[in-house]
Structure 1
Amino acid sequence: MSNLHDSKNTGSSSEVEPEISQTELEALMKKVDKESTFRKLEGFQYKLVYVIAVLFSCYHLYTGMFGMFAAQIQRSVHLAFAFALVFLLYPARQKSSNRIGIVDYITAALAVFTGLYLTINYQHIMTAAGNYTQTDLLFGILGVLFTLEAARRVVGTPIVVIAASFLIYAYFGNYFPGFLSHRGYSVERIVTHMYYTTEGILGIPLGVSSTFIFLFLLFGAFLERTGIGKLFIDIANAIAGWASGGPAKVAVITSALEGTISGSSVANTVGSGSFTIPMMKRLGYRPEFAAAVEASASTGGQIMPPIMGAAAFLMAEFIGMPYIEIAKAAAIPALLYFLGVLISVHFEAKRLGLKGVSRSELPTVWSVIKERGHLFVPLVAIIYVLTEGSTPVRAALVGLAFSVAAGMIKKETRMSLADIINALEAGARSALGVAIACATAGIIVGVVTLTGVGLKMANGLVDLAGGNLLLTLMFTMVASLILGMGAPTTANYVITSTIAAPALVLLGVPVLAAHMFVFYFGIVADITPPVALAAYAGAGIAKADPFKTGVTATKLAIGAFIIPYIFVFSPQIILIGSTSLGIVQNLTTAICGMTGIGAAMIGYCLANMSLAERILFFVGGLMLIDPGIWTDIAGVVMLVTGIIIQIRKKKVSQSASLGA
């Protein structure tokens, strides 16, 4: 991630000095992002970790090009590499020394051997048929414990508590009341199920991490080395820098583009925000609003095709749908999300009378394309390969090859051998949090498959809502937001997709719509108070109130709270049962609807709004987003009425100004 952020320093925004020092940025990241608490190593220790990281990437390049190993071997080697890097890079205590101690070396070595135990004893484990030895049991226990400890170090304590609670439930099942009760399982049964089958730690989440996700993260690291960050921010400046409130719109467009190669809300907020937030503040935006714009836009990166957050790859595997179909289904909702943020930014700029940057000070789109447009080639190549029906693994490899080749076209984007090796190291580091989160999520999935609690909880959720779909959706939303306060999006999605999504399917919601629903709310937890890590990061840069920033970000990202309900009740918006004409119609009305909702959130369209006008615009916008003839007619009538009122208000205001 850091390479992309560094590359921005040479972009058009580099003339604006950040208001927060690099030291302050690093301290802020350590507060809000557990993955940023790694040791800063030097000398031999740095070289050792560097080499392991490069080998980690080389392993995945080799298996991607020449074929994956058997599932258990592919995943256990992936886990062993992740264990090695986590226990060497991340201290047991945050205030520990920046040097690796002897205990860390021993822990890392034992963790690596535990990770490789299944690979070394593959034939024995596969033919054991449940007759595991005491040594098998010992290493199974160690595997579970090392996974939880690695998660504590690199992901955070909340996910460890959740996973441990599921393990306790598996053991003490006969003590639980009602539909949660089950006969309970022995320690041996739980441990072997968790560590020696593809239903637990080595299950689907880690499988996706060890194939698709790692290679796409590596692809992102290579793109960063080409300096694509400068292309993103320059193209955004050329498109929107001159408009009302230009810097804020640049922040939104840049973050949307970054979403194609990065899925971290917090990292995007800090990387982009260190430059865009001071620009917005100097233009005249309130600190809370500036921070909220960056946080909401950066959070939306995980829903932005063609390369979305890691959870999207998990979704494709869980529901057995090609990844390109997931990306296609997410396209309209993602467009509406970012459009909603842009519209809110525009109306706020109009309300405050904020101008953009002079066109003479900005690059033109053509000049940017001429200078660095070739860096878009890898993204185009990935989209083409995916649409041709190839696997995500092949698409990522093609993207990697094209990122190197495209960079070679011009000297300023050309990668040296050192740059390529550094990209291999950076890609491996960026994969650690996802790999360990997926392994820990596997524990949760393992307990669900072992006890059958997933279907029980789905039925319980439906019963609690009295079979009412809207209530079930609301309960699911709240659960996703709460889980998102302590678990990363990948783990959040795994939990909700195994427990809450089945409840929606039971009530007749299409499988894709049900999974997209929980996926969305797992993401927006990053900007939803009281935790709102992305908003907190933005507030730290803007020196603003974190809670107010979170509330403002929630208003800006209102589309992410509305759209999931729309595609459950009207799945045409995610291309289920839609026609080409229907898509155009739905998209047109939805854009008008988001304009109405954005105006209502800010309280301004052509003039300041009263409460009644805001309600009129909001309800009218909501009607237009919901596909349907009658809702569209009602929405148009409401918005036209609201606009007429606004025109009259503006005329009165102008007359009063002239009279004065």
Structure 2
Amino acid sequence: MMNASPDTKTDRFLSSAIYGIGVLLTLFTIYYAYEYPMSRLRYSNIFLGTGLTLFYLLQIRSTVSNETGSSARSTDDGETQSWVTVPSSVRSLVQRLNPFVYGLLALASVFAAGYVEFHFTRLQEEASILGWTQLDLIVGGLIIYLVIDATWRAYGKSIGLVVVSSVFYAFAGPWFPGIFRHTGMSWEQISREGAIGLSGAYGFIFGVGTTWVAIFIMFAGMAKAYGLMDFITQISREVRKVFHSGVVHVAVLGSMAMGSITGSAAANTATTGSFTIPMMKDQGVRPDYAAAIESVASSGGQMMPPVMGVAAFLMADILGVSYLTVIQAGLIPALLFYFSVLVAVHLVILRFGWTVPERGTFDRSVIAEGIHFSVPLFVLIYTLVVLELTPLGAGLYTIISLVVTMYLRNFVVDGLESGTAVATTKQTIDGFRQGAVDMAPLVGMLASLGVVLGLVNQTGLSQKISTQMLDLAAGIFILLLVLSMVTSVLFGLGMPTPAAYILVVILVAPSMVSFGVDQLTAHMFVFYFAMLSAITPPVAVAVAIGSQISGASFTAACKQALRIGAPGFVIPYSFIANQSLISWSFPETIVAVVFVFTGVVALSVATIGYDGGERIGLPRRAIYLVLSALAIAGPLVVQIAATAGILSLLAVANSAVSSSAQRVLAE
């Protein structure tokens, strides 16, 4: 049997269906943001059915077009499902059946969402009093199955098993020992709490996802259709001409920008790393370092405002604070992290001599080609910071400004002609489609997280773990922080940003809040460590992907990633010790920034073993390490003394370098 080619009628039909549904989903989101024609709960149900249908249609087309390859299928979290051990006859049968299975799942998605829509008023207002019918409960179970299946297919087994485990745990509670034991839930209760009671899959996580998250994902898709990624690539090429460090710093900053939006360190590493890692290797950077630099930079992107890998929207909703408050709290820690990465990378480049000569001047005309993209960026900042609109409202006006700007720009550049209008309209509609396609894999995952949250809370597990951590800490604050760090890293392993954040917030943050830590600070603390799990062995999913691209040993790449990313494991402690880094105040925040930034530099020098002038041995590295700890978390007087000590050591090192350079020139 021959594989169907992409130009068959089936594939054309699928492409048309995907295009139409994608455009409609984006337009529906924009319409809801503008008009608010229905409750968010009802809107979320329609979004769920449409998003799942679109996702399964994409799966059908991927299978029919043989886009994923016949031997393996890679998922966004870096896992690969191999057919090596499966007999060829079974493999062939499964491949032939896959499109039909996906088609049935797409139809089931339409049916489930349609059923909830048809019975919405009864389910919302009467069912909790009069009771749910047997068909209601079956549909609830179907919804739970669909979101778990979509999550598993989109993000692999790590997050899929978490959702499955939460359902199993809810059902099998009486079989568990100790603190994990509970009375258990019947399948009817699981269906009710997980979906058909309009909670769980329909909870606040999915509500935020279908509004605040969706509007920004769709904006990013439209910007890509308008050529934003091409503009970023051009800028990167020009910057390489004038940076002594070559492409390395550009790779870090590019991963920072992409990572804030993607919501997955693994996906970020795979996309940006596919071109930054080869460029770093061409510059002479060792493969293990190239993989490490990209994976650390990609992981940090999830911490960078304004999107923070979509966690910023969830955090604002969970805490009941404004979105502006969250991105303000996250800004300095994120800048600290990337400052530390840039310093560490710079020291690595100097230490191993991987610098490049200047090859020309920056072509400023490139900036003019993409200056129009600054208009929607300005609108976004203005609507969020000055007007203090919700992210949904800000996203709406940002999309409108992007579309208007592109029409005006194209008319000015290409002429006021009908052909220009047609071409720009096609770009716009392509952008609608791209935004929905980018959003489709997230639909199942966000709904699955709602299921996890609903069932974990219903069983009381989160309260039990929080109480247990407090007991283990025995009143010792630093021990509680260390336990919170370890637990957050463990629960974050292999997870996309929203999933990792939700899990650690449910299970870890309450114990810190009970100890007296500010809620926002506690959330930031556990969130950071959940993100750093992407470079933490044994999973280190971002490093695994980076090492595959670079051809380096996974173990060697992990070692270098931990060295480059070491300050990231200290930064969360810095904003526990310096609350003004999260809650800004003058002049405390400025003073804390100076101390902590200096301490981060010293920590990078200690971990890299190079001070900008020469390699340093263990005694001097230990001195830098101690001074770093004191500058970051000591009393004020100690912070001042430690900062002065660090600056003095660096000044001496710089003086030695200058003297050596002068002697070389004199000779």
What TM-score, normalized to structure 2? 0.86
Residues 589 and 242 of structure 1, relative CA distance in 2, 3 Å threshold: farther
Deviations 1:115-166 (A, max 9, x none): 3321111122121125111111111111112222122111222223222222
Corresponding residue SS for 2:38: coil
Name structure 2 gaps, 5 residues minimum.
1-8, 64-71, 74-90, 415-419
Amino acid paired to 1:408: Y
Deviations 1:280-326 (A, max 9, x none): 22222111112221221122222112232112211111111111111
Task: Find out whether 1:212 has 2:181 as its counterpart.
Answer: no
Q: Name the counterpart of 1:247.
A: 247
**Equivalents in 1 of 2:362, 2:643: separation in Å?**
37
Amino acid paired to 1:255: S
**Equivalents in 2 of 1:647, 1:64: separation in Å?**
55
Q: Is the 8 A contact 1:182 1:451 kept in 2?
A: yes
Amino acid paired to 2:493: M
Once the 2 structures are TM-superposed, how far is the Cα of residue 644 of structure 1 from its aligned partner? 6.2
Deviations 1:537-590 (A, max 9, x none): 22222221223222222222223211112212322111x2x4232222222222
Residues 173 and 68 of structure 1, relative CA distance in 2, 3 Å threshold: farther
Residues 449 and 212 of structure 1, relative CA distance in 2, 3 Å threshold: same
**Equivalents in 2 of 1:332, 1:235: separation in Å?**
25
Deviations 1:164-199 (A, max 9, x none): 222232233334334433322322122111112344
Paired residues for 1:145-544 under 5 Å:
145-235=145-235, 241-259=241-259, 261-358=261-358, 360-364=360-364, 367-387=365-385, 388-411=387-410, 416-544=424-552
**Equivalents in 2 of 1:658, 1:238: separation in Å?**
30
**Equivalents in 1 of 2:233, 2:55: separation in Å?**
33
Once the 2 structures are TM-superposed, how far is the Cα of residue 391 of structure 1 from its aligned partner? 0.8
Q: Name the counterpart of 2:598.
A: 592
Amino acid paired to 1:254: G
Amino acid paired to 2:621: R
Amino acid paired to 1:524: L
Q: Is the 8 A contact 2:535 2:562 kept in 1?
A: yes
Name structure 1 gaps, 5 residues minimum.
1-39
Q: Name the counterpart of 1:31.
A: none
Given the alignment, which residue of 577, 587, 602 partners 1:569?
577
More deviation, 296-305/619-628: 619-628
Q: Name the counterpart of 1:619.
A: 626
Q: Is the 8 A contact 2:480 2:512 kept in 1?
A: yes
Residues 185 and 274 of structure 1, relative CA distance in 2, 3 Å threshold: closer
Q: Is the 8 A contact 2:260 2:310 kept in 1?
A: no
Paired residues for 1:84-99 under 5 Å:
84-90=53-59, 94=73, 97=95
Q: Is the 8 A contact 2:139 2:196 kept in 1?
A: no
Paired residues for 1:18-37 under 5 Å:
none
Amino acid paired to 2:606: A
Once the 2 structures are TM-superposed, how far is the Cα of residue 480 of structure 1 from its aligned partner? 2.3
**Equivalents in 2 of 1:70, 1:133: separation in Å?**
24
Once the 2 structures are TM-superposed, how far is the Cα of residue 485 of structure 1 from its aligned partner? 2.3
Once the 2 structures are TM-superposed, how far is the Cα of residue 467 of structure 1 from its aligned partner? 3.0
**Equivalents in 2 of 1:645, 1:441: separation in Å?**
53
Task: Find out whether 1:42 has 2:48 as its counterpart.
Answer: no
Amino acid paired to 1:78: F
Once the 2 structures are TM-superposed, how far is the Cα of residue 642 of structure 1 from its aligned partner? 3.3
Residues 350 and 82 of structure 1, relative CA distance in 2, 3 Å threshold: same
Paired residues for 1:633-644 under 5 Å:
633-640=640-647, 642-643=649-650
Once the 2 structures are TM-superposed, how far is the Cα of residue 512 of structure 1 from its aligned partner? 0.3
Task: Find out whether 1:52 has 2:21 as its counterpart.
Answer: yes
Once the 2 structures are TM-superposed, how far is the Cα of residue 206 of structure 1 from its aligned partner? 0.7
Q: Is the 8 A contact 2:284 2:354 kept in 1?
A: yes
**Equivalents in 2 of 1:484, 1:280: separation in Å?**
29
Corresponding residue SS for 2:570: helix
Given the alignment, which residue of 7, 24, 35 partners 1:66?
35
Q: Is the 8 A contact 2:581 2:592 kept in 1?
A: yes
Amino acid paired to 1:157: K
Amino acid paired to 1:626: A
State, as a whole percentage, how many aligned pairs show the same letter.
Answer: 31
**Equivalents in 2 of 1:322, 1:355: separation in Å?**
44
Q: Name the counterpart of 2:114.
A: 116
Amino acid paired to 2:56: F
Corresponding residue SS for 1:48: helix
Once the 2 structures are TM-superposed, how far is the Cα of residue 621 of structure 1 from its aligned partner? 2.5
Once the 2 structures are TM-superposed, how far is the Cα of residue 655 of structure 1 from its aligned partner? 11
Residues 237 and 257 of structure 1, relative CA distance in 2, 3 Å threshold: farther
Q: Is the 8 A contact 1:288 1:548 kept in 2?
A: yes
Residues 429 and 652 of structure 1, relative CA distance in 2, 3 Å threshold: same
More deviation, 217-226/253-262: 253-262
Residues 44 and 541 of structure 1, relative CA distance in 2, 3 Å threshold: same
Q: How many residues align?
A: 617
Residues 100 and 164 of structure 1, relative CA distance in 2, 3 Å threshold: closer
Q: Name the counterpart of 1:82.
A: 51
Residues 175 and 270 of structure 1, relative CA distance in 2, 3 Å threshold: closer
Residues 166 and 655 of structure 1, relative CA distance in 2, 3 Å threshold: same
Q: Name the counterpart of 1:580.
A: 586
**Equivalents in 1 of 2:168, 2:271: separation in Å?**
39
**Equivalents in 2 of 1:427, 1:89: separation in Å?**
14
**Equivalents in 2 of 1:57, 1:560: separation in Å?**
37
Residues 486 and 292 of structure 1, relative CA distance in 2, 3 Å threshold: closer
More deviation, 647-656/127-136: 647-656
**Equivalents in 2 of 1:239, 1:587: separation in Å?**
28
Once the 2 structures are TM-superposed, how far is the Cα of residue 222 of structure 1 from its aligned partner? 1.4
**Equivalents in 2 of 1:502, 1:204: separation in Å?**
18
More deviation, 523-532/206-215: 523-532
Amino acid paired to 2:43: Q
**Equivalents in 2 of 1:564, 1:99: separation in Å?**
49
Once the 2 structures are TM-superposed, how far is the Cα of residue 259 of structure 1 from its aligned partner? 4.2
RMSD (Å), alpha carbons: 2.8
